[in-house]
Amino acid sequence: MEADMQEEKKRPSNFRLYEGLVERIAQQVVRTLNTQGKIEIEPSNIQEAQVDLIAIMDDYLMRDRRLRDAVRERMSMLSLPFSERGSIRYQIAREWNHPLGRSVPNFLANQFIYAFFNSGHVEEVYADDYTLRRTIEEILDGFKVDEDQIREEAEKLIKNMDRSQLQYEIELRKKMNEVRRRKGLIFERGPRRPQGNV
Protein backbone atom coordinates (compact mmCIF):
# COMPACT_ATOMS: atom_id res chain seq x y z
CA MET A 1 0.00 0.00 0.00
CA GLU A 2 2.76 2.43 1.00
CA ALA A 3 4.76 1.46 -2.12
CA ASP A 4 1.69 2.22 -4.26
CA MET A 5 1.34 5.65 -2.66
CA GLN A 6 5.02 6.42 -3.25
CA GLU A 7 4.70 5.30 -6.87
CA GLU A 8 1.65 7.56 -7.26
CA LYS A 9 3.65 10.51 -5.92
CA LYS A 10 6.43 9.85 -8.42
CA ARG A 11 4.10 9.86 -11.41
CA PRO A 12 3.54 13.22 -13.13
CA SER A 13 0.09 14.57 -12.21
CA ASN A 14 -0.54 16.81 -15.21
CA PHE A 15 -0.92 15.56 -18.74
CA ARG A 16 0.64 17.31 -21.70
CA LEU A 17 -0.02 16.03 -25.20
CA TYR A 18 3.10 15.94 -27.36
CA GLU A 19 3.07 15.70 -31.15
CA GLY A 20 5.70 12.96 -31.01
CA LEU A 21 3.29 10.70 -29.08
CA VAL A 22 0.16 11.26 -31.19
CA GLU A 23 0.53 8.27 -33.54
CA ARG A 24 1.47 5.88 -30.73
CA ILE A 25 -1.53 7.00 -28.66
CA ALA A 26 -3.89 6.51 -31.61
CA GLN A 27 -2.48 3.05 -32.31
CA GLN A 28 -2.71 1.93 -28.70
CA VAL A 29 -6.24 3.25 -28.12
CA VAL A 30 -7.61 1.58 -31.26
CA ARG A 31 -5.70 -1.67 -30.70
CA THR A 32 -6.64 -1.94 -27.00
CA LEU A 33 -10.34 -1.17 -27.40
CA ASN A 34 -10.65 -3.43 -30.44
CA THR A 35 -8.74 -6.32 -28.81
CA GLN A 36 -10.79 -6.04 -25.61
CA GLY A 37 -14.02 -6.16 -27.62
CA LYS A 38 -15.14 -2.72 -26.48
CA ILE A 39 -15.36 -1.57 -30.09
CA GLU A 40 -15.31 -3.50 -33.35
CA ILE A 41 -13.18 -2.35 -36.25
CA GLU A 42 -12.58 -4.37 -39.40
CA PRO A 43 -8.87 -4.97 -40.09
CA SER A 44 -9.16 -2.95 -43.30
CA ASN A 45 -10.40 0.07 -41.29
CA ILE A 46 -7.85 0.02 -38.45
CA GLN A 47 -5.57 2.60 -40.03
CA GLU A 48 -8.45 4.95 -40.87
CA ALA A 49 -9.81 4.67 -37.32
CA GLN A 50 -6.37 5.68 -36.05
CA VAL A 51 -6.29 8.62 -38.46
CA ASP A 52 -9.60 9.83 -36.97
CA LEU A 53 -7.98 9.98 -33.51
CA ILE A 54 -4.83 11.59 -34.89
CA ALA A 55 -7.00 14.35 -36.41
CA ILE A 56 -8.58 15.02 -33.00
CA MET A 57 -5.18 15.29 -31.31
CA ASP A 58 -3.77 17.42 -34.14
CA ASP A 59 -6.70 19.81 -33.70
CA TYR A 60 -6.03 20.03 -29.96
CA LEU A 61 -2.32 20.71 -30.56
CA MET A 62 -3.09 23.40 -33.13
CA ARG A 63 -5.36 25.14 -30.63
CA ASP A 64 -2.66 24.77 -27.98
CA ARG A 65 -0.15 26.51 -30.26
CA ARG A 66 -2.63 29.35 -30.83
CA LEU A 67 -2.99 29.61 -27.06
CA ARG A 68 0.80 30.01 -26.69
CA ASP A 69 0.75 32.81 -29.27
CA ALA A 70 -2.16 34.52 -27.50
CA VAL A 71 -0.31 34.34 -24.17
CA ARG A 72 2.77 35.96 -25.73
CA GLU A 73 0.66 38.72 -27.30
CA ARG A 74 -1.22 39.51 -24.10
CA MET A 75 1.94 39.56 -22.00
CA SER A 76 3.58 41.89 -24.50
CA MET A 77 0.53 44.14 -24.69
CA LEU A 78 0.30 44.41 -20.88
CA SER A 79 4.11 44.51 -20.40
CA LEU A 80 3.91 41.64 -17.93
CA PRO A 81 6.98 39.88 -16.49
CA PHE A 82 7.77 36.31 -17.50
CA SER A 83 6.70 35.10 -14.05
CA GLU A 84 3.06 35.88 -14.98
CA ARG A 85 3.10 33.52 -17.97
CA GLY A 86 1.44 30.59 -16.17
CA SER A 87 -1.48 32.58 -14.79
CA ILE A 88 -2.07 34.33 -18.14
CA ARG A 89 -2.03 30.97 -19.93
CA TYR A 90 -4.55 29.55 -17.49
CA GLN A 91 -6.73 32.66 -17.80
CA ILE A 92 -6.85 32.57 -21.62
CA ALA A 93 -7.39 28.79 -21.62
CA ARG A 94 -10.45 29.33 -19.41
CA GLU A 95 -11.72 32.06 -21.73
CA TRP A 96 -11.35 29.72 -24.69
CA ASN A 97 -12.65 26.67 -22.81
CA HIS A 98 -9.38 24.94 -23.77
CA PRO A 99 -8.45 22.07 -21.42
CA LEU A 100 -5.03 22.00 -19.77
CA GLY A 101 -3.23 19.59 -17.45
CA ARG A 102 -5.47 17.10 -15.68
CA SER A 103 -8.46 18.02 -17.89
CA VAL A 104 -6.79 16.92 -21.14
CA PRO A 105 -7.23 13.11 -20.85
CA ASN A 106 -10.95 13.47 -20.11
CA PHE A 107 -11.37 15.92 -23.00
CA LEU A 108 -9.55 13.65 -25.46
CA ALA A 109 -11.41 10.56 -24.23
CA ASN A 110 -14.76 12.27 -24.83
CA GLN A 111 -13.66 13.38 -28.30
CA PHE A 112 -12.48 9.86 -29.15
CA ILE A 113 -15.76 8.33 -27.95
CA TYR A 114 -17.77 10.79 -30.04
CA ALA A 115 -15.62 9.86 -33.05
CA PHE A 116 -16.21 6.13 -32.51
CA PHE A 117 -19.97 6.60 -32.52
CA ASN A 118 -19.89 8.81 -35.62
CA SER A 119 -17.11 7.19 -37.65
CA GLY A 120 -17.73 5.09 -40.72
CA HIS A 121 -14.57 3.18 -39.80
CA VAL A 122 -15.94 1.71 -36.55
CA GLU A 123 -18.38 -1.15 -37.08
CA GLU A 124 -19.82 -1.25 -33.58
CA VAL A 125 -19.34 0.23 -30.10
CA TYR A 126 -20.11 -2.34 -27.40
CA ALA A 127 -18.89 -0.68 -24.20
CA ASP A 128 -20.68 2.18 -22.46
CA ASP A 129 -19.20 5.69 -22.36
CA TYR A 130 -17.92 5.31 -18.80
CA THR A 131 -16.00 2.11 -19.58
CA LEU A 132 -14.56 3.57 -22.79
CA ARG A 133 -13.54 6.78 -21.04
CA ARG A 134 -11.86 4.92 -18.18
CA THR A 135 -9.92 2.67 -20.57
CA ILE A 136 -8.82 5.57 -22.79
CA GLU A 137 -7.74 7.64 -19.78
CA GLU A 138 -5.70 4.68 -18.47
CA ILE A 139 -3.96 4.45 -21.85
CA LEU A 140 -3.27 8.19 -21.89
CA ASP A 141 -1.93 7.91 -18.34
CA GLY A 142 0.80 5.66 -19.71
CA PHE A 143 1.92 8.49 -22.02
CA LYS A 144 2.42 11.09 -19.29
CA VAL A 145 5.79 12.79 -19.49
CA ASP A 146 7.70 13.77 -16.36
CA GLU A 147 8.21 17.50 -16.95
CA ASP A 148 10.33 17.77 -13.78
CA GLN A 149 12.79 15.27 -15.22
CA ILE A 150 12.97 17.26 -18.48
CA ARG A 151 13.59 20.43 -16.49
CA GLU A 152 16.34 18.74 -14.44
CA GLU A 153 18.09 17.54 -17.60
CA ALA A 154 17.85 21.03 -19.11
CA GLU A 155 19.15 22.68 -15.92
CA LYS A 156 22.27 20.51 -16.08
CA LEU A 157 23.00 21.97 -19.52
CA ILE A 158 23.02 25.54 -18.16
CA LYS A 159 24.27 24.97 -14.62
CA ASN A 160 26.83 27.78 -14.90
CA MET A 161 24.22 30.48 -15.62
CA ASP A 162 22.88 32.85 -12.95
CA ARG A 163 19.36 31.66 -12.03
CA SER A 164 18.27 35.15 -10.99
CA GLN A 165 18.62 36.54 -14.52
CA LEU A 166 15.71 36.62 -17.00
CA GLN A 167 18.09 35.16 -19.58
CA TYR A 168 18.28 32.01 -17.44
CA GLU A 169 14.53 31.30 -17.90
CA ILE A 170 14.76 31.98 -21.64
CA GLU A 171 17.75 29.68 -22.03
CA LEU A 172 16.14 27.04 -19.79
CA ARG A 173 13.06 26.92 -22.05
CA LYS A 174 15.31 26.47 -25.10
CA LYS A 175 17.20 23.65 -23.43
CA MET A 176 13.97 21.98 -22.28
CA ASN A 177 12.83 21.94 -25.91
CA GLU A 178 16.18 20.45 -26.91
CA VAL A 179 15.61 17.66 -24.39
CA ARG A 180 12.05 17.14 -25.69
CA ARG A 181 13.33 16.94 -29.27
CA ARG A 182 15.99 14.43 -28.26
CA LYS A 183 13.28 12.28 -26.65
CA GLY A 184 11.12 12.48 -29.80
CA LEU A 185 8.35 14.43 -28.07
CA ILE A 186 8.48 17.43 -30.39
CA PHE A 187 9.78 17.94 -33.92
CA GLU A 188 11.47 20.69 -35.87
CA ARG A 189 9.44 22.81 -38.26
CA GLY A 190 7.79 21.13 -41.25
CA PRO A 191 5.77 17.89 -41.06
CA ARG A 192 5.25 17.23 -37.38
CA ARG A 193 5.40 13.46 -37.76
CA PRO A 194 7.29 11.21 -40.13
CA GLN A 195 5.08 10.42 -43.10
CA GLY A 196 4.23 6.82 -43.88
CA ASN A 197 2.17 4.14 -42.20
CA VAL A 198 0.35 5.11 -39.06
At 163, is the secondary structure helix, strand, or coil?
coil
Answer yes or no: do 177 and 128 share one domain.
no
pLDDT tops 80 at residue 11: no
Answer yes or no: do 128 and 34 share one domain.
yes
Report how many domains make up the chain: 2
Answer yes or no: do 20 and 117 share one domain.
yes
Q: What is the pLDDT of residue 81?
A: 87
Answer yes or no: do 99 and 65 share one domain.
yes
Q: Residue ranges of the alpha helices (H) in the chain?
A: 2-10, 22-35, 46-77, 85-96, 103-118, 129-141, 147-157, 166-182
pTM of the model: 0.83
Q: What interhelical angle do 85-96 and 46-77 show, nearest 10? A: 120
Domain that holds residue 61: 12-144
80: which residues sit within 8 A by CB, 6+ positions away? 74, 88
Answer yes or no: do 40 and 103 share one domain.
yes
Q: What is the pLDDT of residues 113-160, one digit of tens each?
A: 999 999 999 999 999 999 999 999 999 999 999 999 999 999 999 988
Q: What is the pLDDT of residue 164?
A: 79
Answer yes or no: do 106 and 133 share one domain.
yes
Cα 73 to Cα 63, 80, 85, 97: the distances in Å are 15, 10, 11, 19
Mean pLDDT of 74-99: 93
Q: How confident is the model at residue 189 (pLDDT cuts 50, 70, 90)?
A: low
Mean pLDDT of 1-10: 44
Mean predicted lDDT score pLDDT of the chain: 89
Burial class of residue 153 in the structure, from the number of CB atoms within 10 Å of its CB (0-12 exposed, 13-18 middle, 19+ buried): middle
pLDDT exceeding 70 applies to what percent of the chain? 88
Q: What is the pLDDT of residue 43?
A: 96
Answer yes or no: do 83 and 164 share one domain.
no
Answer yes or no: do 92 and 156 share one domain.
no
Residue 46 lies in a domain: yes
Answer yes or no: do 158 and 139 share one domain.
no
Q: How confident is the model at residue 7 (pLDDT cuts 50, 70, 90)?
A: very low
Q: What is the pLDDT of residues 26-60, one digit of tens each?
A: 999 999 999 999 999 999 999 999 999 999 999 99
The least confident of 10-14, 35-39, 192-196 is 192-196
